[in-house]
Amino acid sequence: MQVKVINNSGHSLPEYQTALSAGLDLRAHIDSPVTLGPLDRALIGTGLFIELPAGYEAQIRPRSGLAYKHGLTVLNSPGTIDADYRGEIKVLLVNISNEPFIIENGERIAQMVIAKHEQITWEEKNELSTTERGTGGYGSTGKS
């Protein structure tokens, strides 16, 4: 699938790091380094603008290495970019570690996964079909 993109970042376009990768790495597009202290959050631009086809979304997810090594994650994970959005892709990062983290221009800060989705229409009913699980909620499966 081809996706139209405007790249105002000065960095190369996001790339898949391996042949079977699901996510494209997004890079920070910032004028100067941003320091995120413990529990600080910041909206970091990427300089990218995209036009997705109808029926698709871009999901913004944490990079596992940054999350594991530095406690840096995407606060609204996964963030959703709808097909009709034409603004700059920005990433809402949060530092959940006890140490400050410095984000540099060009640093890979998140990954973007393009996913197909459906839209629904509601069919109101007074009851739903029964299942083995039924109304069992959090932690209800796998019990002996």
Task: Indicate the annotated binding residues.
Answer: 63-65, 76, 80-82
Residue list, annotated binding site for substrate:
63-65, 76, 80-82
According to the 3-state scheme, what is the secondary structure of the chain?
Answer: CCCEEEECCCCCCCCECCCCCCCEEEECCCCCCEEECCCCEEEEECCEEEECCCCEEEEEECCHHHHHHHCEEECCCCEEECCCCCCCCEEEEEECCCCCEEECCCCEEEEEEEEECCCCCCCCCCCCCCCCCCCCCCCCCCCC
